[in-house]
Amino acid sequence: MLKTNNSASASKDDYPGRAYFIRHGESTSNERNIFAGVLDVDLTAFGRLQARRAGADIKKKGIKFDAVYVSHMRRARQTCEIALAESQAMKSPDIPVEIDHRISEKSLIFFKLTQK
């Protein structure tokens, strides 16, 4: 439930929690302009740099995580590991990073519909 107050804008304390989403860094498939989908590929050197930059941004903003969920895909896990190491953003070192298959990228087939 969102709290309301008389001010024109709500403060960050008005929300019970926040969710942050980070896309994985450049993968070897991205580098070759291949749609990876369910292909399990690594990050490139540039992708690892992007993950470090994401971690530095998290650290600069002072964000601390109660929980982290990541796709089982290698590129996502690598991005997560690098960004967390750079940011030191876990509220406790005992919090495990949860691998969740439900947030994996999907390979979809799209069909163009034509009018009769």
Query: Largest Cα–Cα distance of the chain, in whole Å?
Result: 60
Catalytic residues: 24, 105
| Range 60-76 burial, b when 16+ CB lie within 10 A, else e | eeeeebeebebbebbbb
